[in-house]
Amino acid sequence: MNLHCAWLLLLLPQPHQPGVEADMAAKPIFIRDSYKGSGKLQGKVPSSQVAAACSGDSGIGRAVAVHFAREGADVAILYLDEHKDADEVVELVKKEGRRCLKFAGDASKPETAKEIVEKTVQEFGRLDILVNNASQQHMQTDFAKIDPQQLASTFAINVFGYFYMAQAALPHLKEGASIINTSSVTAYKGSPGLVDYSSTKGAQISFTRALSNQLVSKGIRVNAVAPGPIWTPLQPATFPGDKLEKLGDSVPMERPGQPCECAGCYVLLASEDGSYISGQTLHPNGGVVVSG
């Protein structure tokens, strides 16, 4: 499948966050036809490993869910209210021969985190991998106009939600388990139109490093992935059409990435191939050179 083909279609902004993949004219590519699973997440026991993906219905979350399933994991996904997107992911995971649970809820609420974790463990009997992926961003080029409500909401989803999910999952994670946090290149480069969002992404990197230091002695690894501009529903739900047309122009590869170009990072960090990696961040960002 050509990674550029979807980008040639009409780019249409969406009115609400986090956006709906089913409504996108240019569909994100969540997995390559050529991707071959090799049982990386099959586990050390006859049953598969179990992964919970927060915001797993679309974009990067969808790509991660399907890649994990192809590698042998059962998956539970949390989403806000994009029911059609979530239903599609359930079917995609089932086509890979794996099971998939879906939960609608607000990722910024601690009770939501407890519910998805408890029901996942109740259904599957275990939890091996947590992927924190929920995010929101609101473009505002005038720093003075970022109001308290927007600031609080952005931090509630992007930072507090990561804390709540990790806290809920931790009692069920055993040695060899993995927590993966989705950050962004903006954590390192900053974005003048997304000051509050960039701040939360920096917080996610610090959270990843600190939590890794605390949990590494228990054999639980904590890492992050900091993608560059990736074509997901969050983009048309954030930017107007003229901005969408330029998405990715500023990176060395001069194009936006596709979700499938990030998913391999999550597979690496979740599997035994990444068993000596913790407290680190991977950067699928189109060639932007960052440190950290």
| 112 residue type, one letter | T
What dihedral do alpha carbons 18, 19, 21, 24 form, nearest 10°? -150
The residue ranges of DSSP E strands in the chain, in sequence order, are: 50-54, 74-79, 100-104, 129-132, 178-182, 221-225, 281-282
Asked if residue 40 lies in contact with residue 63, where contact means CB atoms within 8 angstroms, the answer is: no
Nearby residues of 276 by Cβ (< 8 Å), 6 or more positions away: none
Pairwise CA distance, residues 267 & 68, whole Å: 7
Maximum distance among all alpha carbons in the chain? 56
DSSP code, position 131: E
- Among candidate residues 79, 162, 164, 197, the one labeled active-site is 197
Question: Cα(169)–Cα(160) distance, rounded to whole angstroms?
Answer: 14
Report yes or no: 89 and 77 within 8 Å, Cβ to Cβ. Answer: yes
Q: Please say if 35 is a catalytic residue.
A: no
Residue pair 154/193 in contact by the 8 Å Cβ criterion: no
Cα–Cα distances in Å, from 76 out to 38, 190, 218, 274, 283? 21, 32, 24, 22, 25
> For residue 104, what are the CA distances in angstroms to 54, 64, 80, 89, 238?
10, 18, 5, 13, 22
**Catalytic residue numbers, as ranges:** 197
